Amino acid sequence: MRIFSKATIGRLFWGFLPGVLLFAAEDANSNSQPQPAAATPLWVTKPMTAPRVTHHVFASKAAKVDVSYHLYRPAAYEADGNRRFPVVYWLHGSGGGLPGIPSVAKRFDAAIEAGKLPPCLVVFVNGLEMGMYVDWADGSLPVESMIIRDLLPHLDASYRTLAKREGRLLDGFSMGGYGSARLGFKYPELFRSVSIVGAGPLQPELKSTPRASRIQAEDLLKRAYGGDQAIFLEVSPRKLAERNAKKIAQESLVRMVIGEKDETFGNNEDFHRHLQVLGIPHGWTIVPGVGHEPERVFAALGDDNWEFYRKAFGVSAGK
């Protein structure tokens, strides 16, 4: 793996053709084509079994229904009843994130037990199969409002969290990386740290995807964004970064990670340059020889992955 500095990357990879949007399920073992979203959104998912992971349901005023989430709690949470912990909000990719929960939780738990990562809570957010972590234009799926207005206050009231921006980190892959960038750049007062991994869609227009048909892309544009490219752009990480560039640049910790062979590489590189133009400092890591494969990306990052977390929680991981 090679990590390129902000100064160096501007001279590299100019020969790559621009990528296009890719949606991929968070299931690290699945390379299948994304399937159409379920007719009825699964606001309450089935429980997934994993060490230190529990399944919970809370009432969301925004969604007007009960919504589920999974929560990882480190051993230190039970060992010290007075300690408060930073929180990682893990945003899954399209197709739903249930299959990926055990492997992601195992990765966090191993890093914490090895002392590579300060003990933290990990919230596996229910972003629906193709919720896009945005409030849908027709008001039918207020995914963003559910997370910001309901889930955050619920978690801070229910668990011993560090209930401030320095204690919150957004991370996610594919659609989850898009959601991390969206929410982190729109609400820098709530989230200090933003990790954008294999993210999509980051382009100015939603027209096509390499692993799905043009018709599927058009269908998503219609359902989530009212069929309006202007709305898609207005709520995009690109526009949100422009709107809050000064605050993000001064107060946020941001990184981008992308596989060298990821179909979304071109869009990620373009977004990286967009952040440079806006003066937003951020890490830019290219994982050689890896495509749109979350497990391989994080395996290649190794301990460098936890370095970002240590920096994010360095002043807020204590008692």
Q: Is residue 41 part of a domain?
A: yes
Say what the pTM is. Answer: 0.87
Does residue 319 lie within any of the structural domains?
no
Residue 212's domain comprises 2-13+22-313
With CA atoms as reference, report the closest residue to 248 among 175, 290, 299, 187. Answer: 187
CATH number of the domain at 262, please: 3.40.50.1820
Q: At what angle do helices 294-301 and 303-313 cross, to 10 degrees?
A: 80
Residue 145 is assigned to a structural domain of this protein: yes
- Whole-Å CA distances, 312 to 69, 96, 107, 165, 235: 23, 27, 18, 10, 26
**Assigned domain for 187 exists:** yes
Rounded CA separation 122/48 (Å): 14
> Is residue 295 in some structural domain?
yes
- In 3D space, the residue among 149, 192, 144 whose CA is nearest the CA of residue 311 turns out to be 192
Q: Please give the tally of structural domains in the chain.
A: 1
List pLDDT tens digits, range 85-111: 999 999 999 989 999 999 999 999 999
CB 96 within 8 A of CB 129: yes
Q: What size, in residues, is the chain?
A: 319
Is 227 part of any domain?
A: yes
Q: pLDDT tens, position by position, for the chain (319 residues)?
A: 444 433 333 333 222 222 333 343 444 433 334 444 445 889 999 999 999 999 999 999 999 999 999 999 999 999 999 999 999 999 999 989 999 999 999 999 999 999 999 999 999 999 999 999 999 999 999 999 999 999 999 999 999 999 999 999 999 999 999 999 999 999 999 999 999 999 999 999 998 766 566 787 889 999 999 999 999 999 999 999 999 999 999 999 999 999 999 999 999 999 999 999 999 999 999 999 999 999 999 999 999 999 999 999 984 444 4
216-254: pLDDT as tens digits = 788 999 999 999 999 999 999 999 999 999 999 999 999
Contact 87, 278 (CB under 8 A): no
Q: Is residue 202 a contact partner of residue 266, using CB atoms and an 8 Å limit?
A: no
Whether residue 28 is contained in a domain is answered as: yes
Distance between CA 313 and CA 169 in Å, rounded? 9
Residue 318 within any structural domain of the chain: no
Q: Return the closest-CA partner of residue 98 out of 126, 74, 71.
A: 126
